[in-house]
Structure 1
Amino acid sequence: MPYRRPGSAPSPAVGTAPVAEPAAERDAFFDNAKYLAIVLVAIGHAWEPLRDGSRTVTALYTLVYAFHMPAFVVVAGYFSRGFEATPARIARLVTGIVVPYVVFETAYTLFTRWTDQAPDRPVSLLDPLYLTWFLAALFVWRLTAPLWRLVRWPLPLALAVAMPATLSPSIGDDLDLQRVLQFLPYFVLGLCLRPEHFLRVRTRRTRVLAVPVFAGAFAVAYLARPRSSWFMHRDSAAELGTPAWYGPVMTLATFGCSLLLVACFLAWVPGRRTWFTVLGGGTLYGYLLHGFLAQGSRFWGWYDPHWVHRPLGWATVALVAAAAVTVLCTPPVRRVFRCVVEPRARWAFRGTAGGEGRSRSAVGSA
């Protein structure tokens, strides 16, 4: 997808419509894309324990990881185009990203202690655990959004930042900065996109071409068996046991591959309202809550039966994961957990900072 320098036209923050915008005016295409992306996220996590001994599952896992988070980040960037550092927007940033981050970072840490996966792990807000890295990254990306509107070549500059990041294992785990920097180009690309760019991939010709592209990508993942770690963007080249020069090269290679697959994925996303369109506004709930099921599934022995590691088991696990994350995106679940995911925080701010009512979630509406 082509890019252009981001303008200053106002648009919703991090994939969310303004509070005053009627629900009928939401774009069904983006809600559908968000729901389908979060389903792929859940399926990818569910397949993770099945990779050992299965080349097919490993290939499917690699294929899904090659584009599901890039698609999420691109959409988040697209809906961050109008972000300005106004008091109201900063307040929304705090309640929509920081508060859920603190709550779920603490909850995940206590959960891993309870399941004996990390019994001695301290609660640390500087070292994101499991899924919370995305909230930390989104907070950093959103704060830098006005900067990318000022520079002349935002996407090449973002790539120039991401490529050297792979050379330095010393970046450390603080706020998962390795991922923050390596996924940055996808966010900046989203900032640069306009509605017409999405229309270019939503054509019948593109949908037809997407079929052989995905088939070819699966064949490469199955035959060549590339490291899925490169698509996770969480490690430096040295940490992956490769020469340093692999890092910048793989940054460009994975960006190109992921971008092609994201375009193919978006080509298949329906633009009309469907039964799951309404669920697209609750993807943050599905994202954060399904992690407890994914993490606890091993502790509870869900993968112990032998049949789970056979083709029927792969399909069953995928269906269960899709159904579970779907339920977690529904309005009843959102009402229960809204106090920690989309909290009201007018009492914590003064003046216009608290005047926009309930905050909107960063991922759930993006």
Structure 2
Amino acid sequence: MRSELSPATTVLPHSRVPYWDNARVACIILVVLGHSIQRLIHESDAALTTYLVVYAFHMPAFAIVSGYFARSGAPTTRQMTRVLTDIVLPYIIMESIWSLVQFMAEDKTHINPTRPSWTLWFLLALGVFRLVMPYLVLLRWPLAWAVVISVGVGYFGNVDNTFALSRALGILPFFVFGWQLRRWGLAERWLALRRGSTAVRGAAITLLLGWIVVVLTFLDTWRSVELRFWFFYDDSYVGLGSQEWWAGGIRLGVIALAAVLSVAFLVLVPRTPNRMTRYGQFTMYVYLLHSFVLYPLRESGVMRHTGFPDLWLTGMLLLSIILTVVLSSAPVRRLCRPFVEPKPRWLFAPEPPDTSRSSPR
């Protein structure tokens, strides 16, 4: 499944743009890093700072990249087929594997496939995006409506993580924003820009450094209000401890922050090929498989009370890069392709012959 986390394959099958592969690699490294340091944030201020900085924008940025290559028209037969092969089947396969792992490791017997395990929520979110987009773009100001949906859904406690609906609707604005960027032609203008690009990158660095300073300055405040949970977009405002009528304003602020940081991050992504560029084609493998590597570290307790949390933080950063390279490698892809990119031709009925030009007699 390279069509979403590696979305350029659906739109540019014969000529890949290095910038987008670089963006996907950078995003997936941040995803792995965020998951790998979660057990350290209670013991290390540096880990919590890194966590808040990364989680403020890493999945929104991923959604923007995916949305950039999204198709908004009525789905064709091929596109509907790919929903099954790229989203539904990988989800069923990986969720089944996770159920087996949790049964063996935790003796967990309660199986609920409607509640995605750990990282699998984004697969279902992509499915929700594909379902919603053809209707959303029929409206005026689809991006504004996406923001309204994201803010509004937080007021409903009965919209939860079943089929990742709360999270999908929460980050919907970023997917639509990515689609809107393509319509505006802003990315093409940025990639073609030569004069002034240094100033733009300087502004982007300033914004990201400013966010780091804000996190460091008010770290105890962010810890006490549990800001990190707002970055998940998966709980109602009441569930997050905010029962006030204006709680949606906090979600709106989080969306604005994520949008600004995502754009700054994407501005800093290299535009030319480098050693990591080729791995951008295979980020789905990293996304679906890295959790199995990190699971033993998370659940064994080896990362708790280590006495050297900052050293572990450095090690997890290096591990994130290594995992991205290893899980994108050809041997891993060959071994795991049936699970990540299943091609069950036997599952689909043969297409009926085209009779649209024939007239009844």
Instruction: Tell whether the 8 Å contact from 1:39 to 1:326 is kept in structure 2 after alignment.
Output: no
Alignment partner, residue 81 of structure 1:
71
Q: Residue 127 of structure 1 aligns with which residue?
A: 115
Cα displacement (A) at 1:307: 4.6
Q: Deviations over 1:340-362 (max 9, x none)?
A: 11111222223459xxxxxxxxx
| Alignment partners' CA distance in 1, 2:264 and 2:150 | 24
Shift, 1:280, TM fit:
0.5
Secondary structure, counterpart of 1:294 in structure 2: helix
Is the 8 Å Cα contact of residues 72 and 137 (structure 2) preserved in structure 1?
A: no
Shift of residue 114 of structure 1?
2.2
2:154 corresponds, among 166, 171, 177, to 166
Aligned to 2:163: 175
Distance change (3 Å), C-alpha of 1:306 and 1:120: closer
TM-score by length of 2: 0.87
Equivalent residue number for residue 263 of structure 2: 263
SS at match of 2:137: helix
Alignment of 1:48-59 (within 5 A): 48-59=38-49
1:98 paired to 2:88: yes
Q: Which residue of 2 aligns with 1:215?
A: 209
Query: Structure 2: how far apart are the matches of 1:199 and 1:267?
Result: 12
Counterpart among 33, 37, 46 of residue 47 in structure 1:
37
The structure with the larger Rg is 2
Q: Structure 1: 5+ residue runs without aligned partners? A: 1-11, 354-366
Cα 1:200/1:61, change in 2 over 3 Å: farther
Question: How far off its partner does 1:149 sit?
Answer: 2.3
CA–CA distance in structure 2, aligned partners of residues 334 and 142 of structure 1: 26
Q: Deviations over 1:180-227 (max 9, x none)?
A: 111111111112111731245562212111222111101111222331
Q: Which residue in 2 is equivalent to 1:8? A: none
Aligned to 1:206: 200
Distance 2:198 2:112 in 1: 48
Query: Secondary structure of the residue that 2:119 maps to in structure 1?
Result: helix
The total of aligned residue pairs comes to 337
Post-superposition shift, 1:298? 2.7
Identity, % of aligned positions: 31
Paired letter, 1:274 = N
- Report the Cα offset of residue 304 of structure 1: 4.9
Q: Distance in 2 between matches of 1:258 and 1:313?
A: 27
Deviations 1:206-264 (A, max 9, x none): 21112221111011112223311111111111111112434311221011111111111
What is the aligned counterpart of 1:17 among 1, 5, 9? 9
Counterpart code for 1:312: L
Give the TM-score taking structure 1 as reference length: 0.86
**Letter aligned with residue 297 of structure 1:** L
Partners in 2 of 1:66 and 1:20 — Cα distance? 30
Structure 1 residue identity aligned to 2:344: A
Cα drift, residue 83 of structure 1: 5.4
Coordinate RMSD, CA, aligned? 2.1
Q: Give secondary structure in 2 for the equivalent of 1:170.
A: coil
Name the residue aligned to 1:196.
Answer: 185
Conservation of the 8 A alpha-carbon contact between 2:39 and 2:304? no
Instruction: Give how far 1:300 is off.
Output: 3.7
CA distance in 1, matches of 2:29, 2:109: 29
Residue number in structure 2 paired with 1:32: 22
CA distance in structure 2 between the partners assigned to 1:245 and 1:19 by the alignment:
43
Output the CA distance in 1 between the equivalents of 2:215 and 2:188: 29
Q: Indicate the residue corresponding to 2:303 in structure 1.
A: 303
Cα offsets for 1:30-78 (capped at 9, x unmatched): 1110011000000111111001132221111011001110010111111
Which letter does structure 2 place at the counterpart of 1:196?
A: G
Q: Which residue of 2 aligns with 1:363?
A: none
**CA shift at 1:110, angstroms?**
1.9
Cα distance in 1 for residues equivalent to 2:247 and 2:126 = 23
For structure 2, list consecutive stretches of 5 or more residues without a partner in the other structure.
192-196, 353-361
> Who is 2:357 aligned against?
none
Q: 1:67 touches 1:258 (CA, 8 Å); kept in 2?
A: yes
Q: Distance in 2 between matches of 1:20 and 1:208?
A: 30
